[in-house]
């Protein structure tokens, strides 16, 4: 059952690009490109991380349901964790140090002290160990996007236990009960997304932990449900199922965009007022309740997996698959690249006009080029080396198939 790997690899690029657009709102707005509808959709672009969380649960359950699901063993769990580190750690470690060096050099050039409360040995070691986002009041710093890796690492540590549950669900429960479990798992996320009013980013008071555990688990359960609709010969989903999935694969993004517009235009759901007086670009913050869109994103993963036509076929094209390959490096490098870009434009006094427009093109093209270089020079060579150290082939079989 590997027919969905191409389109879900393309989804990885969509998720990373969505997050990047969210972070690049200021130059887009300066050029007048954030027109209605697009602005509301970009404002919720941080949901690309939530899409990553669910996609991770889906793909890992696909890969390890029968490998780790029957019983837990230390050798198998250790092997799994090593392979996951091979996937995320090399780029994380490089960008952690690049980000720290960038802050240090910027302060030296400006003749200032490094005035960052996170620029210390303790917080650095937390970043190295990928535990910096754990807890109810996480301290972010260094390379900001790495907060999600800390949460992913928590999910990886728990996965050898969670997959035991997924495997037994697959063996013993009817589809309707698995679907009910999917709903129950997401209740804490939806409650938090509606009831919590203290943080527009939904990270405080265990928000990050709630997001990873609920979304990762829901993504895994989505795979178990999708598995029920696959034919016995594993040639693909049943024709009627695939037709419905193909329709939903297009309809759901439309619903998500429409819902983001509705949320973005309800006055009571916008951040501002007391406590936000000094917040720049407060209009670009995601609206309250935007976590309500997460279940739609998770269902979208499932229907894309059940379709081989339409949008799924488009997402599985060579260019989008390549985008999926570099998506992790794009996610991890784009904020540091953006900071450098802003520093250069500030130094040159460019803040509008034709030169600013040309510089914005450089910003987007450069982000992709930097990501591709990180993927080719650091991510892939390091991952292949680490995989070979564990006795695995340098590249997963499914990735080799996609490249050909």
Please write the tens of the pLDDT for every residue from 45-83: 999 999 999 999 999 999 999 999 899 899 999 999 999
- CA-to-CA separations, 217 to 18, 212, 382, in angstroms, rounded: 22, 8, 28
Show the tokens assigned to 166: 């997924």
Query: Cα separation of 148 and 9, whole Å?
Result: 19
- Round the average pLDDT of the chain to a whole number and report it: 90
* Cβ-contact 25, 281 below 8 angstroms: yes
Torsion angle, alpha carbons of 366, 367, 370, 374, to 10: -170
Question: Does residue 377 have a pLDDT over 60?
Answer: yes
Of 206, 288, 217, 303, the residue nearest 254 (C-alpha): 303
Dig out the tokens for 155 from the structure.
Answer: 């999910």
Alpha carbon 30 to its chain's center: 26
CA distance 208 to 201: 9
Q: What per-residue confidence (pLDDT) applies to 109?
A: 64
Gyration radius of the chain's alpha carbons: 21
Which residue stretches of 281-317 are H helix? 294-305, 310-315
CA 38, 43, 48, 51 dihedral sign is negative
A 10 A CB-CB count for 78 gives: 12
Cβ atoms within 10 Å, residue 134: 16
Phi, psi of 390 (to 5 degrees): -95, 5
- Rounded Cα distance between 341 and 400, Å, is 35
Answer whether 305's CB lies under 8 Å from 64's CB. no
The rounded Cα 211 to chain-centroid distance in angstroms is 12
Q: pLDDT-derived band of residue 101, with 50, 70 and 90 as boundaries?
A: confident
**Helix (DSSP H) and strand (DSSP E) numbers for the chain:** 16, 0
Residue in 216, 258, 241, 228 with CA at minimum distance from that of residue 84:
216
Is residue 393 scored above 90 in pLDDT? no
Strand partners, 237: 230
Question: Do residues 306 and 252 make contact, with C-beta atoms less than 8 angstroms apart?
Answer: no
Q: 124 vs 399, which has greater pLDDT?
A: 124
> Would the pTM count as exceeding 0.85?
yes
The Cα-based distances of 329 to 6, 244, 295, 322, 392 in angstroms read 18, 34, 26, 12, 22
In the chain, where the domains are located: 5-403
Query: CB neighbours (10 Å) of residue 402?
Result: 20
pLDDT tens-digit readout, 314-369: 999 999 999 999 999 999 999 999 988 988 898 889 988 999 999 999 999 999 99
Per-residue pLDDT, 200: 85
User: Which residues, including other chains, have CB under 8 Å from residue 69's CB and lie 6 or more apart?
Assistant: 163, 164, 166, 167, 168, 170
Predicted pLDDT of residue 243: 93
């Amino acid at each position: 059952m590997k027919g969905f790997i191409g389109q879900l690899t393309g989804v990885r690029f969509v998720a990373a690009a969505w997050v990047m657009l969210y972070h690049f709102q200021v130059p887009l707005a300066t050029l007048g490109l954030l027109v209605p509808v697009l602005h509301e959709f970009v404002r919720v672009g941080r949901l690309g991380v939530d899409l990553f969380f669910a996609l991770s649960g889906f793909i890992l359950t696909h890969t390890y349901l029968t490998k780790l699901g029957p019983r837990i063993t230390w050798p198998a769990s250790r092997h799994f964790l090593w392979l996951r580190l091979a996937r995320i750690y090399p780029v994380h470690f490089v960008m952690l140090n690049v980000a720290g060096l960038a802050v240090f050099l910027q302060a030296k050039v400006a003749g200032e002290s490094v005035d960052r409360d996170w620029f210390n040995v303790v917080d650095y070691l937390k970043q190295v160990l990928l535990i910096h986002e754990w807890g109810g009041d996480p301290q972010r710093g260094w390379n900001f996007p790495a907060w999600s890796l800390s949460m992913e690492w928590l999910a990886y540590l728990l996965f050898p236990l969670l997959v035991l549950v997924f495997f037994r669900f697959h063996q013993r429960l009817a589809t309707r009960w698995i679907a009910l479990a999917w709903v129950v798992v997401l209740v804490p996320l939806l409650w938090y997304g509606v009831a919590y009013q203290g943080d527009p980013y939904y990270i405080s008071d265990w928000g990050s932990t709630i997001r990873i555990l609920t979304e990762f688990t829901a993504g895994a359960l989505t795979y178990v449900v999708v598995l029920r609709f696959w034919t016995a010969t594993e040639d693909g989903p049943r024709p009627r199922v695939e037709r419905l999935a193909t329709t939903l694969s297009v309809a759901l993004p439309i619903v998500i965009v429409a819902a983001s517009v509705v949320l973005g235009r309800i006055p009571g759901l916008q951040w501002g007022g007391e406590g936000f007086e000094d917040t720049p670009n407060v209009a670009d913050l995601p609206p309250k309740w935007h976590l309500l869109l997460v279940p739609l994103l998770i269902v979208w993963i499932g229907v894309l997996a059940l379709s081989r036509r339409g949008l799924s076929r488009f997402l599985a094209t060579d260019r989008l698959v390549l985008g999926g390959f570099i998506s992790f490096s794009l996610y991890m490098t784009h904020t540091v690249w953006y900071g450098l870009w802003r520093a250069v434009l500030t130094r040159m006094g460019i803040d509008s006009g034709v030169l600013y427009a040309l510089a914005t093109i450089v910003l987007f093209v450069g982000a992709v080029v930097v990501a591709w270089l990180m993927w080719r020079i650091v991510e892939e060579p390091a991952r292949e080396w680490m995989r070979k150290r564990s006795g695995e082939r340098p590249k997963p079989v499914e990735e080799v198939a996609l490249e050909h």
